[in-house]
Structures are given as C-alpha cells and as structure tokens.
Copies of this chain bind each other. A is one copy, B any other.
Amino acid sequence: MHAHPRRVRFESSDAVAPHQFGVLAQLNESPRTPRELADHERVSAPSMTRTVNGLVDRGLVARTDDPTDGRQVIVSLTGEGRQLLKDIRRRRDAWMSVRVSRLSREEQDVLRQAAVILARVASE
C-alpha cells in the first residue's frame, strides 16, 4: 500500500478461468449489467453473480449503481482488470505467433482463409 503498485500485479497469479476471461473481454468493449453478461455467456443470473463476485474480490471489475434504474447495477473493468486482459491477450498472441511464424507463407494464407470461412459458418 506504500510502494510499487505494479509489483502487486506481477506477483499475483494472472490465471483466469475461461468463464472469467469471457466477462473481462465483454467489459473491455463497454460496461454491462449482470443480465447482459449472463445472456451473452449463456449462463444463469446466479452464476454470473458468482463470477462477478470473484472478479470483484480480485479487484478486476467494479459494481456501480445505475443512476436511472435502481434495480440495475453496472459492472465495469478496473484499471487492473483492463491491464490483466491486455497481458493475457499479449501472451496468447505470442504463443500463437511463434507457431504460425514457423509455417510457410502459403500455409499461413490457408489458415487466414479458413478462419474467414469458419467465422461465416459459425455465424449462420
């Protein structure tokens, strides 16, 4: 509480479970209500309450009251949560980059084209 705030992040575990990562990624787009988070992740409201609680306890997200509707709360990323998401993505990208970089240019093109096709199929 008195010195190197970055040490805290680097010393703590960066691990987040898949369902937590999904919430962080959503909140990186914009703040959301628990209802919106639950619908997007296709889990029940109580499950999302639990997930959000865990992220709040870790200081990665924060709850604030909706100023216009007293029933709702707004969940948003903290600076720490945003930084953690960024770190995780950087690490994942690095992991994949190494493997893709070993492929030939033609192979990389095939993967790029396949990604486009699969994205279209998945959205049907």
Contacts and interface: CB of A to CB of B under 8 A. Distances in A.
Contacts of A113: 110, 114
B111 A118 contact: yes
B114 A110 contact: yes
Q: Is the interface of A mostly helix, strand, loop or mixed?
A: helix
On chain A, which size bracket covers the interface?
A: 10 to 19
Interface in A9-47: none
15 contacts: A99-B121, A99-B124, A100-B121, A103-B117, A103-B121, A107-B117, A110-B110, A110-B113, A110-B114, A110-B117, A111-B114, A111-B117, A111-B118, A113-B114, A114-B114
Interface of A: 99-100, 103, 107, 110-111, 113-114, 117-118, 121, 124
